[in-house]
Amino acid sequence: MEQPILPLRDAPVLADAAAVWFSRRWGIPAESYRESMEQCLRRKAPVPQWYVVRDGGRLLAGAGVIANDFHDRKDLTPNLCALFVEPPWRGRGTAGRLLDFIRRDLGAMGIPRLYLVTDHTAFYERYGWTFLTMVTGDDHLPERMYTAPTLPPRPAPVCRRTQSALDIPRVSGDNVRCYFCNLPDMEVFAWHWIRAFSRRWRPASPRGRSAPGSPPLPPAICTWAICGRPCTPGSSPGTPAARSSCGSRTPTRAAWWRAPRT
């Protein structure tokens, strides 16, 4: 199972442990890491940022983003730094996940490009980084500079349970959220959501008929995990054959609920 990546700004209680962990791996005083992490926790700027991967109560990987990783090219900023994975966890894709996560996270903050310095010659290329130039470190030794564009945020997970009302045999809170999360009218949403929990109610037929006395159904919305736009004018939104403006089939109303006839 993949271990979650934690931005330190969202887990401030780990700051002291992370500073000590990075210090022991890179031989830099822990106080230097604490100072940078305190700036991260203030959330005043996108940089610096710190990230850790944890397995239970111990840290197994981590990395940071700072303005300059001790080299003479101050214009090439910000720099990914201090990437380290504990030996038992190497070869499992942890470093790649961490690199991609950081690129997405910084991209969401408006940073267009990241840089890093390293002695490796065939590692970062595997994860979308390209060699840029040679730079001189503070120790007057040459170092390789790599760069990579940041990545767009991952799309939000989409509910696919609207594909067929027949796929779900009974009512539950999760099912109701899935069916109605894309409705544009919140009052109509609330009306049907509340009644879906009544034991006297059951799923409607796939033809999309609503309960007697219910509010009028809102225009169908594409819940086929693509566009979320209204159905094409002239289509029949209440049927599985309805198409949205993206061309996807939209059985949006297959999940309305109605009371059984007595």
Domains of the chain in start order, with CATH, are: 5-149 (3.40.630.30), 156-262 (no CATH)
In the predicted model, is pLDDT for residue 64 greater than 80? Answer: yes
User: Rounded CA gap, 26 and 36, in Å?
Assistant: 15
Segment 206-219 shows an average pLDDT of: 48
Q: Please state the rounded mean pLDDT for residues 9-36.
A: 96
Query: Side-chain half-sphere of 28: how many Cα atoms within 13 Å?
Result: 14
* Length of the chain (residues): 262
Mean pLDDT, rounded, of the chain? 74
Provide the pLDDT for residue 158: 52
Q: Give the tokens for residue 65.
A: 């983003």
Furthest CA-CA distance within the chain = 87
Confidence class for position 56, pLDDT limits 50, 70, 90: confident
Would you say the pTM of this structure is higher than 0.85?
no
- How many angstroms separate the CA atoms of 57 and 63, rounded? 18
**Residue 124, helix vs strand vs coil:** helix
Residue type for position 159? C
* Alpha carbon distance 249, 51 (integer Å): 41
Rg (CA), the chain: 26
List 64's β-bridge partners, or say none. 50, 81
In the chain, at which residue ranges do the beta strands (DSSP E only) sit? Answer: 5-7, 49-55, 58-66, 79-85, 113-118, 130-136, 142-149, 202-203, 257-258
Amino acid 60: pLDDT: 96
How confident is the model at residue 154, as a pLDDT?
80
For residue 94, give the nearest of 1, 157, 22 by alpha carbon.
1
Provide the pLDDT for residue 261.
43
Is pLDDT above 70 for 112?
Answer: yes
Res 153: pLDDT: 85
**Between 143 and 257, the higher pLDDT residue:** 143
* pLDDT greater at residue 188 or residue 19: 19
pLDDT of 41 reads: 97
Q: Tell whether the model's pLDDT for residue 140 goes beyond 60.
A: yes
Which residues are within 8 A (CB) of 31 and not within 5 positions of it... i.e. 6 or more apart?
19
Segment among 51-55, 83-87, 187-191 with least mean pLDDT: 187-191
Is it the case that residue 24 has pLDDT exceeding 70? Answer: yes
- Give the pLDDT of residue 245: 42
